[in-house]
């Protein structure tokens, strides 16, 4: 089940608009973009890092309310667990991005973290590459494969399934992003490509903070798409149950 056409148009249009804005700003005002890319500091983070969190907060709210609204009404409960994992990922991403509010509240880093944290911040991802680079790489592989390559393949093959039956077929339906999210995924791909382009592009579009913002943008739309589809499935299940109930009554 795919999200409504209006949802797809909004996802595609907003992703293209954001990509255009980033590209134009990087080309016309690279110094301003670099200033916006400032990382955590006393008084708060830079504009791009704040935008990263801003994209994730609504995703958490939408995903959490969807989990509550569809509880016990899903034919494939694993789809609800999948959404729950993504909501948890968004909470962790947002919290780690702003060191769980350290630079806004101004508290000092606890001593036990300061000793092991590379940047002496209140977060976990700067402790070891296994909590930073490895998860980051897995996310990037997921976006490239399930956000771009597989949706394009399915779109060009008439929506053909990779797996015909079994749990893999059910997982495929929920794991692979709908085609409407290809634009959101391509935004991140562009930030990765920007690292290899000449001039100011590497320090603007290809900057790590810009890459993280693009990941958050994809996360937000992925959670939104999952939420919309789960609500649609739950509504269909409820309608079918309502239609079947009079028959059940008559049969007793």
CA 81 to chain centre: 16
Phi–psi pair at 68, nearest 5 degrees: -70, -45
The domain in which residue 67 lies consists of 5-246
The rounded distance, in Å, linking the Cα atoms of 145 and 142 is 5
Q: CA-to-CA distance for 133 and 126, rounded, in angstroms?
A: 9
Find the length of the chain. Answer: 252
Three-class SS of residue 33?
helix
Angle formed at CA 26 by CA 22 and CA 29, multiple of 5 degrees: 120
Q: What angle do CA 73, 77, 82 make, to 5 degrees?
A: 120
251 inside domain: no
Strand, coil or helix: what is 44? strand
How far apart are alpha carbons 12 and 155 in whole angstroms?
15
70 found inside a domain: yes
Q: What is the pLDDT of residue 243?
A: 67
Mean of all residue pLDDT scores within the chain: 87
pLDDT at 200: 80
Residue 38 and residue 46 in contact, taking contact as beta carbons nearer than 8 Å: yes
Name the domain count of the chain: 1
In a domain, 189, yes or no: yes
Residue 19 lies inside a defined structural domain of this protein: yes
Could you tell me which residues are beta bridge partners of residue 44? 41
Task: Give the pLDDT score at 249.
Answer: 46
* pLDDT value, residue 240: 66
252, part of any domain: no
Stretches where the chain sits below pLDDT 50 are 248-249, 251-252
Q: Shortest CA distance to 126 belongs to which of 102, 96, 105?
A: 96
pLDDT of residue 252: 44
CB 183 within 8 A of CB 18: no
- Are 218 and 184 in contact by the 8 Å Cβ rule? The answer is yes
In a domain, 167, yes or no: yes
pLDDT for 38: 80
């Amino acid at each position: 089940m795919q999200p409504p056409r209006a949802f797809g148009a909004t996802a595609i249009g907003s992703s293209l608009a954001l990509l255009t804005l980033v590209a134009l700003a990087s080309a016309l005002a690279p110094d301003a973009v670099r200033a916006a890319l400032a990382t955590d500091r006393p008084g708060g983070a830079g504009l791009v890092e704040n935008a990263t969190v801003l994209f994730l907060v609504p995703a958490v709210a939408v995903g959490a309310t969807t989990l509550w609204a569809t509880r016990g009404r899903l034919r494939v409960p694993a789809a609800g667990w999948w959404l729950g994992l993504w909501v948890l990922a968004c909470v962790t991403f947002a919290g780690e991005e702003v060191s769980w509010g350290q630079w806004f509240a101004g508290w000092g880093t606890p001593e036990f973290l300061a000793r092991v944290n590379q940047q002496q911040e209140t977060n976990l991802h700067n402790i070891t590459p296994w909590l930073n680079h490895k998860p980051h790489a897995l996310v990037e592989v997921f976006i490239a494969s399930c956000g771009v390559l597989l949706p394009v393949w399915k779109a060009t093959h008439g929506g053909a399934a990779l797996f015909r039956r079994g749990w893999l077929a059910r997982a495929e339906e929920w794991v692979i992003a709908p085609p409407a999210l290809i634009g959101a995924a391509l935004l991140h791909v562009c930030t990765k490509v920007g690292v290899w382009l000449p001039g100011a592009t590497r320090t603007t579009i290809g900057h790590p903070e810009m890459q993280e913002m693009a990941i958050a943008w994809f996360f937000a739309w992925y959670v939104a798409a999952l939420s919309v589809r789960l609500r649609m499935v739950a509504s269909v299940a409820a309608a079918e149950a309502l239609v079947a109930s009079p028959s059940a009554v008559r049969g007793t």
